[in-house]
Amino acid sequence: MWSLQNIADSVQHWLYATFNPTIAMLIEFAIIGVLAIGLFSMLGLVLIYMERKVSAWMQLRLGPNRVGPKGVFQTMADTLKLIVKEGMTPNGADKLLFNLAPFIVMISAMVILAPLTFAKGFQIWDINIGVFFIAAISSLSVIGILMAGWASNNKYSLLGAMRSGAQIVSYELSAGLSILAIVVLSGSLKITDIIASQENGWWIFKGHVPVWIAFVIFIIAVTAETNRAPFDLAEAESELTAGFHTEYSGMKFALFFLAEYVNIFVVCALGAILFLGGWMPLHFGTGTKFNEVMDYIPSSVWFFGKTFFLIFVIMWFRWTFPRLRIDQLLNLEWKYLLPISMINLLLVTLIAILNWHF
């Protein structure tokens, strides 16, 4: 059957058969780099278009509908506009940090793509601490945001950056704890192992109530981690105009913007992998007819379907809820989410030890 795995394998075989191993590996690196950048920009285009259409649908509007059929090229036109715009550096800004910040945010968003499994056997790097790697790298973006806020020499930016720092550092904890719940159940940090452990049913079905709680906490925490409404305090349009990227223009602004959407994709993909089985089709039990029918749907469709469903949920949040205040945001994390997820982790461990899960 046609699959991304076969394509990747045949490319690799051809490369290693034609060139000597070192050159083949270098060529592979180059291909992966181009693919990652391509995916990065494609995701930006697709997700921004999706956000505009979803918001339009929720707000009784049509959304973009002039550039191309149904306005699909609108994002492309906007990106072109941003590329040709002048990237200004304000007076009094720390030039090095100011110009470096968007790249740190972008690179940290891009590197997380490495351990994600996009389809069966289609993955850039099957590192044995994949989940840990994602959690570690995703917290690097806060450095870029703090740098942007501080270097801009703008008070709005500074306030936004400080809020963002407090927010990301605290929500990392409950996101991490809810990830740990699945790690405990599947017994591995490796992405492929976690997906393989869901062959006879996704964790959200197998793991009883504690996994549902972990899933809900995970979704809330990653929404906060990616600075999305109702936790968009770092940008807080009505309070801080644009928060940490107030002073950015042109492509530097676009990098922040793209990084935000790629981050959403990454955390939703992680949610899909951990709780909804990643590329694993919907299976109940082993060897049933139902499973065979489900297997006919390509694994990449399963993965992207689940991921985009989660992305839709997060967009739905944004266009429905008012924004929290900074103290309420931190209260929610430290007084509610963190204790609940700690107790929840204990429950999950109990389930794992006693083998209560299906």
Partner 1 sequence: MYRQSEIVNDPSKTSLLGDEGTDMIINVGPQHPSTHGVLHLVITLNGEAVKKVEPHLGYIHRSIEKMCESLTFRQFIYVTSKMDYLSSHMNNHCCAMCVEKGLQIEIPPRAQVIRVLMDELTRLASHQLWWGALAMDVGALTPFFLAFREREMINDIMEETCGTRLTMNYMVPGGVMADLHPNFQKRVHAFIDHFKRKIDEYDELVTDNIIFQNRTKGIGYISKEDAISYGMSGPAARGSGVQCDIRKLYPYEVYDKVQFEEVIETAGDCFARYLVRMKEMKQSISIVEQLIDNIPEGDFQAKTKAVLKLPKGEYYSRVETARGEFGVYIVSEGGTTPYRIKFRSPGFSNLSALDHMTRGQKIGDMVAIMGTLDLVIPDIDR
| Positions that interact with partner 1 (CB under 8 A) | 55, 58-61, 92, 155-156, 158-159, 163, 229-230, 232-233, 236-241, 319-328
Residue 186 burial class via C-beta count within 10 angstroms: exposed 0-12, middle 13-18, buried 19 and up: buried
Q: Which is nearer to partner 1, 54 or 129 (CB)?
A: 54
Q: Which is nearer to partner 1, 221 or 236 (CB)?
A: 236
Q: For residue 21, with 0-12 CB atoms within 10 Å meaning exposed, 13-18 middle and 19 or more buried, which class applies?
A: exposed
Q: How far is the CB of 206 from partner 1 (least distance, A)?
A: 31
Q: Which is nearer to partner 1, 145 or 191 (CB)?
A: 145
How far apart CA 54 and CA 318 sit, in angstroms, is 10
Closest approach, Cβ 119 to partner 1, in A, equals: 35
Beta carbon of residue 252, minimum distance to partner 1 (angstroms, whole number): 21
Please say which residue, 137 or 229, places its beta carbon nearer to partner 1: 229
Location of structure tokens 């990084």: 259
For residue 110, give the nearest of 84, 140, 72, 79 by alpha carbon. Answer: 140
Which CB, 284 or 336, lies closer to partner 1? Answer: 336
Shorter beta-carbon distance to partner 1: residue 56 or 251: 56
Compute the distance between CA of residue 110 and CA of residue 103 in angstroms, rounded to an integer.
10
Q: Tokens 């780099």 label which residue?
A: 33
Least Å distance, CB 199 to partner 1, is 39
Task: For CA atoms 43, 48, 51, 56, give the dihedral sign.
Answer: negative
With tokens 């062959």, the residue in question is: 199
Shortest Cβ 72–partner 1 spacing (Å) = 23
| Whether the Cβ atoms of residue 149 and residue 157 lie closer than 8 Å to each other | yes
In the chain, at which residue ranges do the beta strands (DSSP E only) sit?
Answer: 117-119, 122-123
- The residue whose two tokens read 């795995």 is 5
Residue 319 Cβ vs partner 1, minimum distance, rounded to whole Å: 5
How many CB atoms neighbour CB 354 within 10 A?
8
